[in-house]
Amino acid sequence: MAYENILSDYQNGITTITINRPKKLNALNKATIQELHDAFDAANKDVDTKVIIITGSGEKAFVAGADISEFADFSVEEGGQLAVQGQALLFDFVENLDTPVIAAVNGFALGGGLELAMSCHFRIASANARMGLPETSLGVIPGYGGTQRLPQLVGKGRAMEMIMTAGMIDANQALSYGLVNHVVEQAELLPLCEKIAGKIMRNSSVAIAEAIRSVNASYKDGINGFAIEIESFGNCFGTEDFAEGTSAFLEKRKADFPGK
């Protein structure tokens, strides 16, 4: 598929999606959100893709925010629909993908950019990365899940401070907060993501999908995460991956999982 605002590249079990609007610091507009949805959907359905990495082009920005010019004159109703559609199309969609998604945060991740990174299953940052939710400085609040996911990741107090001050934190502070898992120099960012992806790919894609479902369940209102875990655990017993994994263990050999 041809894209105007992103790049999608498959290599050795990994699909790397790159937001490619460097002159706009990779800001998210409607067209880019739609293309990201399409690229994530295609990668998730691709039986050969075991891990997805999302990053930004250049060395300045992962995503420096949303394209404010698109919604500066929106009404109350239009603003609400913007959030509803964006969450469904991209942010919630990414969080609930069966395929693991790693955010390679290669610079500024602000507003919708940080919200996109937080919707991924985990994050790795370059040393020059800066993260924040500056929406209150514009008279609005984060609308793509930021008020929900940030407290889950860093705690209520830290999230309140970040949102209320509209300030940025650096990569090392993000690491200490638990917002990112690792911090490396820019040149090491994608290689580390690929190294971790390699470790993920040794394991059962089917089991990983059930694990994602189970972990996410604990953050959903009205859902009993323990019950989902029990259900997912049971589901695994009926899969080819379980038969192969247990046989390989008992036979003292490396498992050769069938895949998605």
Q: Where in the sequence numbering do the catalytic residues fall?
A: 115, 135
Both structure tokens of 35: 């293309």
Cβ atoms 240, 255 nearer than 8 A? no
- Give the strands of the sheet with 130-132, arranged side by side: 61-63, 108-110, 130-132, 168-170
Query: Is the C-alpha dihedral spanning 184, 189, 193, 195 positive or negative?
Result: negative
Cβ atoms 73, 26 nearer than 8 A? no
* The Cα angle at residue 54 between residues 46 and 147, in degrees rounded to 5: 115
Both structure tokens of 15: 């699909």
